[in-house]
Structure 1
Amino acid sequence: MTLDEETITGLEREFAVFVRQDRAALGRLGREVHPDLKVAAYRLLAHLAERGPRRPTELACHVGVTAPTISRQLQHLEELGLIERVGAPDDGRAYLVQLTEAGRRRVEEVGVARRRRLDRLLGSWADAEIRAFAELLAKFNGSAATPPPRRCGGDG
């Protein structure tokens, strides 16, 4: 299927607006977790909340940064008291990163605020429209998912 250029241009424009608005909202909500928290750091916290303790290398792969960059981000989050290091059960030389209780509580608070925001944004939509939007967005995200540009894995 080939779409006309006007449709593609309109879709691209709306996508850019969506990404900008979501990034700005995420930045505001992330600052509710901690005033010094950056958007990228909030994504790490949300990933840890969803997936549980992870090796730093896996987190670096998830957000697409290098080992030194993830190390600095994790150090900052640790200094804020939002994450902690624990030994990896399968390798005494490695460690995992997990949320502290304060980190978990803050991420949940932001999650509640995000859901309230979505509820406000979609408040005038019919239930069927919301379900269709969610299904189409999931379909799009599934087709947009590609393997990472570099091989991820290893010790952290």
Structure 2
Amino acid sequence: MTPAEETIARLEREFAVFVRQDRAALGRLGREVHPDLKVAAYRLLAHLAERGPRRPTELACHVGVTSPTISRQLQHLEALGLIERVEAPDDGRAYSVRLTDTGHRRVEEVRVARGGRLGELLGSWAEEEVRTFAALLARFNGSAATPPPRRCGGAE
């Protein structure tokens, strides 16, 4: 293995560790939103908190699942009182979903907890190291962005 291949292999291992740890942390934090909340559902809530009301088809494209899957996830979140259906402003036959007040409050609590945890993890780093890490991660994420595997009708 060449030094470049070894570096890439090490990076791949570190990504795998990061993803595994982040998924576990999201699961724990999601349960703080509601004990019955799954990781995928928390990601939907966070997306709604960031982007506002969305149609189910847009959410399905965002997370890369089918319409029946997103429908089941949204029904679960609605039953937990975290989202509600609202008439789509541009089409009275369609609907969007949005966070309830409880949903907003719970997502914000988790966001603050995640930020606190990240602050703890980076507490021993110099400010310049944190800025550099953030810039490099943003650069990587920008280059890693790919179009969704299926057409989503212009949804984000």
Same fold (TM over 0.5): yes
Partner residue in 1 for 2:62: 62
- CA distance in 2 between counterparts of 1:96 and 1:80 reads 17
Query: What does residue 151 of structure 2 align with?
Result: 151
Code of the residue aligned with 2:93 in structure 1: it is: R
Aligned partners of 2:131 and 2:104: how far apart in 1? Answer: 29
* Superposition pairs of residues 28-47 of structure 1, within 5 angstroms: 28-47=28-47
Q: Which residue of 1 aligns with 2:71?
A: 71
**Which residue of structure 2 aligns with residue 101 of structure 1?**
101
Q: Secondary structure at the match of 2:98?
A: strand
Offset at 1:153?
2.9
Matches within 5 A, 1:1-156: 4-153=4-153
* Deviation (angstroms), 1:4: 1.3
- Whole-angstrom distance in 2 between the partners of 1:110 and 1:3: 41
By how many angstroms is 1:131 displaced? Answer: 0.1
Identity %: 85
The code of the aligned residue for 1:18 comes to: F
| DSSP 3-state at the match of 1:4 | helix
Q: What do the CA deviations read for 1:11-58 (whole angstroms, capped 9, x no partner)? A: 000000000001100100000000000000000000000000000000
CA shift in 2, pair 1:9/1:152, >3 Å: same
Offset, 1:3: 7.1
Unaligned stretches of 5+ in structure 1?
A: none
Tell me the TM-score normalised to structure 1 length: 0.96
The CA distance in 1 between the partners of 2:6 and 2:146, in whole Å, is 26
Coordinate RMSD, CA, aligned: 1.2
Structure 2 gaps of 5+ residues are: none
Aligned length: 153
- Corresponding letter in the other structure for 1:97: V
Runs of 4+ in 1 over 3 A off after TM superposition: none
